[in-house]
Amino acid sequence: MTDGRRYRYYDLIMAVFVTVLLCSNLIGVHKVSTVKLPLIGDFIFGAGVLFFPISYLFGDILTEVYGYARSRRVIWAGFGAMIFASLMSMVVVNLPSAATMDPARQEAIEMIFGQTPRIVIASMLAFWLGEFSNSFVLAKMKILTAGRWLWTRTIGSTFAGEAVDSLVFYPLAFLGIWSIRQVISVMIGNYLLKVLWEVLATPFTYKIVGFLKRAEDVDYYDRDTNFNPFTIAT
């Protein structure tokens, strides 16, 4: 149970979280990029992976500062936004094109926004399970560490949350379309990239968490929290 207070920055962080989530699912989701790494060669990754880990960063910040229950509300807000965006994309793609519209443009719209139901469902399920795993692990680790060693919680919870996300999304979305080897390769590569992103962002996380705790005068511990994910009560 949270304290019922109103916070100055909570709504702003919720808006940033939802914005990043929608952008990561709409911008770059179809783009496959590559970089050449020493001793490894070409490293192939989906461009959207550059943005999606930011949602985990803000998920960590929300849970660390405001507690699991308030983070849970934000996760549900993001989940609802993903559903709405998916429905809008489906409607736009399937609306009949005007006779004056270039067919090539319609094909481009279908390519960018016309995700299959399978990928949409896999994406939403992976997000929901991954974000709640991330928030739960961080909240429990905060109690176990007595609020010390923030880096262990942000990185440890990301290890767990991104693992759940990856293990759910890639098999559900691509098994039977890609080879098993390709699914495993992309899943592991993107997972490592997401975790590395979180590690590199740790100093940034420290600064935001420190600022919010001072500005909001709060440092929440989830000792008596109801961790049921199917509620938005605070």
pLDDT along the chain (234 residues), means of 10: 78 92 75 76 73 87 96 95 89 86 83 78 93 97 96 95 94 89 87 88 94 96 94 81
Residue 140 lies in a domain: yes
Residue 34 lies in a domain: yes
Count structural domains, the chain.
Answer: 1
Distance of CA 216 to the CA centre of its chain: 25
For residue 185, the one-letter residue type is S
Q: What per-residue confidence (pLDDT) applies to 63?
A: 96
Residue 224 lies in a domain: no
Residue 234 lies in a domain: no
Q: What per-residue confidence (pLDDT) applies to 102?
A: 86
Buried b (16+ CB within 10 A) or exposed e, 173-197: bbeeeeeeeebeebbebbbebbbeb
Q: What per-residue confidence (pLDDT) applies to 1?
A: 55
Q: What per-residue confidence (pLDDT) applies to 2?
A: 57
Residue 228 lies in a domain: no
The helix-helix angle for 150-174 and 52-66 (nearest 10°) equals 140
CB 62 within 8 A of CB 17: yes
Q: What per-residue confidence (pLDDT) applies to 3?
A: 62
Q: What per-residue confidence (pLDDT) applies to 132?
A: 97
CATH number of the domain encompassing residue 55:
1.10.1760
Residue 5 lies in a domain: no
Could you tell me the pTM of the whole model? 0.88
Range(s) of the domain holding residue 81: 10-95+103-216
Q: What per-residue confidence (pLDDT) applies to 30?
A: 64
Residue 119 lies in a domain: yes
Residue 2 lies in a domain: no
Q: What per-residue confidence (pLDDT) applies to 97?
A: 85
Q: What per-residue confidence (pLDDT) applies to 212?
A: 96
